[in-house]
């Protein structure tokens, strides 16, 4: 028989080396691809949730009852322009396990909408000047569980009249994010070339709402301020014709509703720095 051609051991070793280098490159790219896919999925969920939140604020939403079931906590920080100490108020939703120290439970969606519609700048009495109106800079932070996405991640499960309780372990697997909400109403401006007549009413009747979403949010303890936030961040903006006004109750029982609600108690005779004024855009705002 004549000689037969075949691969030598050196050639086989070179082929294995080439294939190994290609496999290492492919394996190195896979984690980056998976991270991009995860980020796109999270951004899609947050975009849908941001639209729901903006619509809830814009319309003074009164029918989105499930909103309080996805809102875990609200932190309201009020910084006064005088030497008074800042005030921080904490609120939590019905699915938060236990009763966190220093936190008030949400009464209903009206209170939640009133908190997240709060203007960035208000005038209120302070600790050092209880009889005067001091300019206050408000920071509102909302901890949310995703309202969109896979149903497997939705902790609010209905079975007849039964609803998921705060101790349900499924809530721990929900996708969480932090929302910082800023509402600024524009001031009226003078029409160019006219220095005597009234300011342009249209320019002064518009409010800008900005949502800054940061994720993922991971809790490190049961207290309101015990959490960590990832580096992912997106902003959403919208303009609303009109401005937020003090929230007036129109649902029963009517005897505890008024312009000052903390939470939904009768209006005090004299306001103090501990009283929280809730605001809401009027239903039908554009």
Distance, CA of 109 to CA of 94 (rounded, Å): 11
CA distances from 168 to 16, 152, 154, 224 (A): 52, 14, 12, 19
pLDDT for 240-271, tens place per residue? 888 888 765 444 344 333 444 444 455 566 77
User: What pLDDT does residue 161 have?
Assistant: 47
User: What pLDDT does residue 274 have?
Assistant: 83
The sign of the torsion formed by the CA atoms of 100, 104, 105, 109 equals negative
Contact 72, 92 (CB under 8 A): yes
pLDDT for 155-202, tens place per residue? 555 554 445 555 566 666 778 999 999 999 876 655 555 554 444 555
Residues 6+ away with beta carbon under 8 Å from 176: 72, 143, 144, 145, 146, 215, 216, 217, 218, 219
User: What pLDDT does residue 144 have?
Assistant: 92
User: What pLDDT does residue 205 have?
Assistant: 75
Distance, CA of 118 to CA of 276 (rounded, Å): 10
Q: Residue ranges of the chain with pLDDT lower than 70?
A: 1-4, 60-64, 150-172, 187-204, 247-269, 283-286
CA distances from 134 to 120, 229, 243, 247, 272 (A): 14, 32, 20, 20, 11
Domain chopping of the chain, boundaries:
39-191+200-280
């Amino acid at each position: 028989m004549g000689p037969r051609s075949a691969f030598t051991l050196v050639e086989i070793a070179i082929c294995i080396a080439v294939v190994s280098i290609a496999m290492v490159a492919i394996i190195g790219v896979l984690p980056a691809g998976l991270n991009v896919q995860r980020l796109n999925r999270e951004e899609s969920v947050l975009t849908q949730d941001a639209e729901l939140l903006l619509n809830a604020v814009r319309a003074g939403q009164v029918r989105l009852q499930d909103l309080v079931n996805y809102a875990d906590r609200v932190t309201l920080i009020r910084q006064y322009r005088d030497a008074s100490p800042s005030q921080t108020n904490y609120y939590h939703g019905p699915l938060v396990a236990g009763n966190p120290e220093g936190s008030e439970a949400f009464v209903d969606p009206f209170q939640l909408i009133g908190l997240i519609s709060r203007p960035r700048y208000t005038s209120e009495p302070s600790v050092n000047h209880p009889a005067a109106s001091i300019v206050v800079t408000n920071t509102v932070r909302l901890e949310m569980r995703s309202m969109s996405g896979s149903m497997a991640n939705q902790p609010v499960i209905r079975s007849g009249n039964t609803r998921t309780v705060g101790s349900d372990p499924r809530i721990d697997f929900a996708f969480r994010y932090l929302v910082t909400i800023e509402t600024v109403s524009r001031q009226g401006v003078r029409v160019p070339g006219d220095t005597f007549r009234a300011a342009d009413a249209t320019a002064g009747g518009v409010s800008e709402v900005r949502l800054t979403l940061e994720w993922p949010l991971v809790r490190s303890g049961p207290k309101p301020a015990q959490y960590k936030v990832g580096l992912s961040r997106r902003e959403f903006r919208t303009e609303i014709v009109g401005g937020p006004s003090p929230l007036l109750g129109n649902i029963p029982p009517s005897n505890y509703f008024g312009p000052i609600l903390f939470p939904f108690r009768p209006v005090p005779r004299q306001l103090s720095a501990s009283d929280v004024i809730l605001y809401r855009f009027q239903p039908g705002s554009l």
